[in-house]
A and B are shown apart, each in its own frame.
Chain A
Amino acid sequence: MRGSFSTITKMFSAGAVTAGLLMSVPARAADDTIKVGILHSLSGTMAISETTLKDAMLMLIEEQNAKGGLLGKKLEAVVVDPASNWPLFAEKARELISKDKVAAVFGCWTSVSRKSVLPVFSELDNILFYPVQYEGEESERNVFYTGAAPNQQAIPAVDYLMSEDGGSVKRWVLEGTDYVYPRTTNKILEAYLKAKGVAAEDIMVNYTPFGFSDWQTEVSAIKKFGSAGKKTAVVSTVNGDANVPFYKELGNQGIKAEDIPVMAFSVGEEELAGLDTTPLVGHLAAWNYFQSIDTPENAEFIADWHKFIKSDKRTTNDPMEAHYVGFNMWVKAVEKAGTTDPDKVIDAVIGVSVPNLTGGYSTMMPNHHITKPVLIGEIQADGQFETVSQTSGLVMGDEWSDYLADSKDLISDWRAPLSCGNFNVATGKCGGKGTN
């Protein structure tokens, strides 16, 4: 039996690749359609979050076709499954662009999957719309970031907790899953908190592995850290699957939101759907969209979604809204440019403004990030969020954080004549490097 253990691990990786190759929907060749690539995992660990986005994209494309398509042609969705396997994302992206000749791709969730497809998009010169909140420190010519940058989510969330409404928090636990998004976000937050006069001993940073399920030690450490006579809050960048056991443990150990609130950046309506939220009422999340937002646009979007997915129990969430905004921006830019040629669309999309679901407009900025409102919501007993705070205006996405030494001098502007994603204003040269 001695050899069997190492073979298991070998077989694991082999199996993952074969699994991914098994599923990809063959595209039909047709010249009278415009093809749109959808690059979201439909199997593996990320399927839980990404499948919903695939469905949302299919719905948006169907609606656009019902409105008469684009440039007089029908849109055709090409769905591939990168199976939560990061190298496979790059392969599938290449397949979409070279073989299926898609006009643009909507996809990716984790930062590592985005990083893995970046070289493909710049080599083959195509467009990626990326819908998830991320750690910033990046601005690529071929990528449009419709999710939140740290200053559109993390920083306003911390500001809220510091304010009187949020409980005047003085002591901070930064709890995250061990990968690039939490690590970079926490680096920015730590620098920000210190700039705000928070002492180093009042900040506790802790990381756990992906899919972590035994939170007893961590939760009791939070309890312990919180009993120092100062108002304490947890800022959680815990990802996906690990959240449910985390919140269950919080509830069971009796940590109430009134005493130690948990502010989460990766917990949306979808994640709460698998959870009895009664013990969690009052814990917080920062997003740019909540299903509970009361606007006519949102009511229509939710109704359409329930009809499309044939279940009125399915929730909507922030990345879905990001796809909604991103897709409409792309449509508008293609109409403006009169062609789907990526080079022309990349230029045309800057400055395009479309309605978002929270009752305002989002605009694509020259740094390829969009303007968004920032909302802070409290978890309710019905699994929805109640907005308790909202930024007064729209916040523009800041790709290079002002709070990190490496990136504070960098700016991004993809308009001619600068056309640079990492221009260093201190040295006056294009080609600066951020933190990751």
Chain B
Amino acid sequence: MIFTRAIGLLLLLLLLLGMLSPSNAAEADLRAIIAKFATASNFSATEAVVRELAATGDTAVERPLGALAEGDLYVRKADSLVFIGKEGGGSVELLDPLSGEKSGEAAKGEITKIKVNNTLRRAIRDALGTLTLGAKDPAARIAAADTMFKTPDATNIEPLDAAIASETVASVKALLEQARAASVLVSDRPETEKLAAVALIGARGERNALSLLTAVEANSEGVVNDAATAAIANINSTLALWDAGQNIWYGISLGSVLLLAAIGLAITFGVMGVINMAHGEMVMLGAYTTFVVQEVIRNSFPGLFDWSLVIALPLAFSVAALVGLVIERGVIRFLYGRPLETLLATWGVSLILQQAVRTIFGPTNQEVGNPSWMSGSFDIGQLAVTWNRLWILVFALGVFAVLLYVMKRTPWGLQMRAVTANRRMAASMGIRTPWVDALTFALGSGIAGIAGVALSQIDNVSPNLGRGYIIDSFMVVVFGGVGNLWGTLVGAFSLGIVNKFLEPYAGAVLGKIVVLVLIILFIQKRPRGLFALKGRSVEA
């Protein structure tokens, strides 16, 4: 019956097209269903078409469904035909929804996009999940198992059974079995099977399992309910441990951001004693340099995008160092030993820099993209570690190490320390103290610039970028001990960790206040911070 109808449709299609195509009966059917997208007037009608497509079980629907989920499926107004559209410039390139072959172009006004919303996207994801269960790529099968685990349905059991039987990779098989267990729990299978399923899911021990079991607990009774309750308690106790680990990681990560922001200040304020209120603006200049580098790369060398941050680093350092040098030579050198005037002058400089950037680039945020190696996250047990945070931590420690080396092992570092310890003595030994001052200030500013490259990955690139970090930076340096790089390191990480441990209990607002109060109390007790410099020069 179906066969004859299909033959009929095929003949009809051949007649219509007036040509012989290698299409088969199923394809004609699929095209008939896809054509219904053109007449679907609302989301639920579109969803019905999606379900119908999925029900064919044909893997060819992956292409149109995927395109629909991405919002790339269009209807041509002239003849109500459905196409996949790829936007390029002013026009849209039209592709056949099944074969993906090019079939012309259209102006944006000639086609209408088939709208999708979250409910529809979820429906498509579920549909694709079932369809990709037999895919060749193990990653696609894992994704399918994952979706089916999150959206259990009694009708999934059969296809999953078949998939489990033919699965050869052990890890994928385990996931498929868990997905099957999830579906068993929402079916009317016997209690013994459900108990086994609870045990299997309980063993996963993560949030999705917890979510599933909580739903089971609410909708079941008897032994299954007891088993679910026990499994939930078990998962919760494991998760509590991971939570502590997570807080430490978040604290370290916040600490690395603080360290990056403060480390340049540790030089200008810590070593030279200059209260530089324009420090945050050096960070901002670094971030804008990254933006400019990325713009150039986007327009001229798109292939280099993943290298954009590496390219931006030396440039950001040079830009910020140069501006720092100009500020030191132009303003600060006249004000050494007058902290109040320095503070006001650098505050003015910071306003000038902000407004200059606002005039040049406009007041709105600029888009700085994440290179692929800085996007997404990976899991260690139940701990989600995001790549950008991890790289920032590595980078912050790297910058710290380099700076430490410069200060302790190079002649320049020796001169810097000599000038800090006793300016007049250093001068009489033949050190050109004004130039050491200028270069030290430029170094501190340059370091702030490269901090900007890193911070552009996690924060707004706007003229206000620096404002958010200046207080925190001073806090870290003062807390860690003025004039001591190690103090800055320890200060940054301890502030980060304390902050992140307080946050879940006290909230972000109160947490920050508590940290501030703690620091004030600490400074009362130890005015020179964690690691105080010792010696006569400090008193001067």
Where the two chains meet, the residues of A that have a C-beta atom closer than 8 Å to any C-beta of B are: 1-2, 4-5, 7-8, 11-12, 15, 19, 42-45, 47-48, 51-52, 164-167, 178, 206-209, 211-214, 216-218, 220-221, 223-224, 226-230, 241, 244-245, 248-249, 251-254, 257-259, 261, 270-271, 273-276, 279, 281-282, 284, 314, 378, 380-381, 386, 388
A48 touches B365 (CB 8 A): yes
The segment from B33-41, B161-169, B346-354, B396-404 found at the interface with A is B346-354
Q: 1/0 per position for B448-478, CB-CB distance to A under 8 A?
A: 0000000000111111100110000010001
Cross-chain contact B508 with A5 (CB below 8 angstroms): no
Q: Which of A12, A52, A207, A271 contacts B507 (CB 8 A)?
A: A207
B81-105 CB mask vs A (1 if < 8 Å, else 0) is 0000000000000000000000000
Of chain B, the residue at the smallest CB distance from A244 is B460
A218 touches B508 (CB 8 A): yes
> A residues within 8 A CB of B187?
none
- The reply to whether B355 and A227 form a contact with Cβ atoms under 8 Å apart is no
* Overall SS of chain B's interface: helix
A271 and B365 contacting across the interface, CB-CB below 8 Å: yes
When distances are taken between beta carbons in the complex, the residues of chain A under 8 Å from B365 are 48, 241, 244, 271, 273-275
Q: Which residue of A lies closest to B383 (CB)?
A: A220
Nearest-neighbor residue (CB-CB) of B463 within chain A: A47
What chain B residues lie within 8 Å of A52 (beta carbons)?
Answer: 363-364
Chain B residues in 8 Å Cβ range of A228:
210-211, 214
Name A19's contact: one of B351, B364, B367, B389 (CB within 8 Å): B351
- A7-B340, A7-B343, A282-B118 provided; 16 other pairs, C-beta below 8 A? A44-B464, A47-B463, A51-B363, A165-B117, A166-B118, A211-B464, A221-B504, A224-B207, A227-B208, A227-B210, A252-B386, A253-B384, A270-B364, A273-B367, A274-B461, A284-B118
Q: Which one of B218, B478, B482 lies within 8 Å of A229 (CB-CB)?
A: B218
Residues of B contacting A213 in the complex (Cβ-Cβ under 8 angstroms): 458-460, 468
Most buried by B among A217, A245, A388: A217
A-B contact pairs, 19 of them (CB 8 A): A1-B273, A2-B527, A8-B277, A8-B474, A11-B277, A11-B340, A42-B363, A52-B363, A216-B386, A220-B246, A229-B218, A244-B459, A248-B370, A248-B388, A257-B121, A258-B125, A276-B367, A276-B370, A281-B71
Complex contact B119–A165 (CB within 8 A): yes
Per-residue CB contact flags for chain B residues 355-367 toward chain A (1 = under 8 Å, else 0) read 1001000111111
User: Which A-B residue pairs are the 5 nearest by beta carbons?
Assistant: A274-B365, A229-B215, A229-B214, A227-B207, A227-B211
> How many angstroms between the C-alpha atoms of A388 and B114 in the bound complex?
11
Which residue from A209, A252, A274 sits with its C-beta under 8 Å from B462? A274
- Which positions in B face A, CB cutoff 8 Å? 43-44, 70-71, 115, 117-119, 121-122, 125, 150, 207-208, 210-218, 246-247, 250, 253-254, 257, 273, 275, 277, 339-340, 343-344, 347-348, 351, 354-355, 358, 362-370, 375-377, 384, 386-389, 458-464, 467-468, 474, 478, 482, 500, 503-504, 507-509, 512, 523, 527-528
B375 touches A252 (CB 8 A): yes
Check B118–A378 contact: CB distance below 8 A: yes
Tell me whether A253 and B386 are in contact in the complex, defined as CB-CB below 8 angstroms, given that A213-B459, A273-B365 are known contacts: yes
A19 contacts which chain B residues (CB < 8 A)?
Answer: 351
Cα-based distance from A11 to B276 in the complex (angstroms): 12
CB-CB under 8 A from A248, the residues of chain B are: 370, 388, 458
How many angstroms between the C-alpha atoms of A41 and B458 in the bound complex? Answer: 26
Question: Of B125, B461, B463, B482, which one neighbours A1 at CB under 8 angstroms?
Answer: B482
Q: Which residues of B contact A212 (CB under 8 A)?
A: 508
CB distance from A260 to the nearest CB of B (A): 10
Chain A residue numbers with a CB within 8 Å of B207 are 223-224, 227
CA distance A160 to B246 in the complex (A): 34
Q: Report yes or no: B482 in contact with A45, Cβ–Cβ below 8 A.
A: no
**Residues of A contacting B358 in the complex (Cβ-Cβ under 8 angstroms):** 43, 47, 51
B240–chain A nearest beta-carbon distance, Å = 11
Using CB atoms, name the residue of chain B closest to A275: B367
Query: A241 contacts B118, CB within 8 Å?
Result: no
Chain A residues with CB under 8 Å of B253's CB are 214, 216
Q: In the complex, are the beta carbons of B364 and A217 less than 8 A apart?
A: no
Query: Which chain B residue has the least Cβ–Cβ distance from A220?
Result: B246
A388 contacts B254, CB within 8 Å? Answer: no
A8-B343, A15-B351, A273-B365 given; A381·B464 CB < 8 A: no
Give the CA-CA distance A44 to B463 in the complex, in Å.
9
Known: A43-B354, A282-B118. A214 touches B254 (CB 8 A): yes
B71 and A217 form a contact (CB under 8 A): no
Specify which chain A residues have a CB less than 8 angstroms from the CB of B351 in the assembled complex: 15, 19, 43
Decide if A381 touches B71 in the complex (CB within 8 Å): yes
The answer for the CA separation of A218 and B370 in the assembled complex, in Å, is: 21
Chain B residues within an 8 Å CB radius of A276: 367, 369-370
A1 and B478 in contact (CB under 8 A), knowing A47-B358, A209-B508, A276-B370?
Answer: yes
Q: How far is the CA of A258 from the CA of B347 in the complex (A)?
A: 46
Q: Which of B71, B213, B254, B523 has the most CB of A within 10 A?
A: B71
- Given known A-B contacts A15-B344, A48-B464, A208 and B509 have beta carbons under 8 A apart: yes
Q: Which of A214, A245, A258 contacts B118 (CB 8 A)?
A: A258
In the complex, how many angstroms separate the beta carbon of B400 from the nearest chain A beta carbon? Answer: 19
Q: Which of B217, B377, B528 contacts A254 (CB 8 A)?
A: B377
Shortest Cβ distance from residue B197 to the other chain A in the assembled complex, whole angstroms: 15
Chain B nearest CB: distance from A24 CB in Å? Answer: 14
Q: Given contacts A4-B339, A273-B364, are A388 and B211 in contact (CB under 8 A)?
A: no
Please state if A241 and B218 are interface contacts (CB–CB under 8 Å).
no
Q: Given the complex, which residues of B lie within 8 Å of A5, measured CB to CB? A: 474, 478, 523
Tell me, rounded to whole Å, the shortest Cβ–Cβ distance linking B409 to chain A. Answer: 27
A420 to chain B, nearest CB (A): 37
A residues in contact with B119, CB < 8 Å: 164-167
- Closest chain-B Cβ to A300's Cβ sits at a distance in Å of 16
Determine if B523 and A245 form an interchain contact, defined as CB atoms under 8 angstroms apart: no
Query: Considering only CB atoms, which chain B residue lies closest to A232 in the complex?
Result: B211
Distance A51 CA – B357 CA, assembled complex (angstroms): 14
Residues on B with beta carbons closer than 8 Å to the beta carbon of A251: 375
B160 CB, min distance to chain A CBs, angstroms: 21
Query: Is B363 touching A209 in the complex (CB atoms < 8 A)?
Result: no
A229 to B387, CA, bound (A): 28
A414–B210 Cα gap in the complex (Å)?
A: 55
CA distance in complex: A292, B273 (Å): 53
Q: B343's closest neighbor in chain A, by CB?
A: A11
Cβ-defined contact, B504 with A165, below 8 A? no
A8-B343, A229-B212 are contacts. A253–B504 as well, Cβ < 8 Å? no
Q: Contacts of B463 on A, CB cut-off 8 Å? A: 47-48
Asked whether A274 lies within 8 Å of B364 as measured between CB atoms, the reply is: yes
Which A residues lie within 8 Å of B70 (CB)? Answer: 381
Tell me which of B217, B362, B377, B474 contacts A252 (CB under 8 A).
B377
Nearest CB in chain B: distance from A173 CB, A: 13
Residues in B with CB closer than 8 Å to A4 are 275, 339, 343
CB pair B460–A165 under 8 Å, yes or no, is: no
> Is the beta-carbon distance between B508 and A15 smaller than 8 angstroms?
no
Q: Are A254 and B384 in contact (CB under 8 A)?
A: yes
Contact B118 A257 (CB under 8 A): yes
Q: Give the distance in Å from the alpha carbon of A371 to the alpha carbon of B116 in the complex.
A: 28
Q: Is the CB of B389 within 8 A of A216?
A: yes
A213 smallest CB distance to B (angstroms) = 5
A420–B467 Cα gap in the complex (Å)? 43
* Whole-angstrom distance between the Cβ of B256 and the nearest chain A Cβ: 11
Q: How many angstroms from the CA of A48 to the CA of B210 in the assembled complex?
A: 42
A8 to B467 CA separation, bound complex (whole angstroms): 13
Do A208 and B508 touch across chains, with their CB atoms under 8 A apart? yes
Q: Nearest Cβ distance between residue B347 and chain A, in whole angstroms?
A: 5
Residue in A214, A220, A229 with the greatest tally of chain B CB atoms within 10 Å = A214
Q: Which residues of B contact A241 (CB under 8 A)?
A: 365, 460, 462, 464, 468
- A368 CB to nearest B CB, Å: 29
Q: Which residues of A contact B362 (CB under 8 A)?
A: 51, 314
Question: In the assembly, what is the distance between CA of A7 and CA of B341, in Å?
Answer: 11
Considering residues A51, A52, A227, A257, which has the most beta carbons from chain B within 10 angstroms of its beta carbon? A227
* B44 contacts across to A, CB distance below 8 A: 165
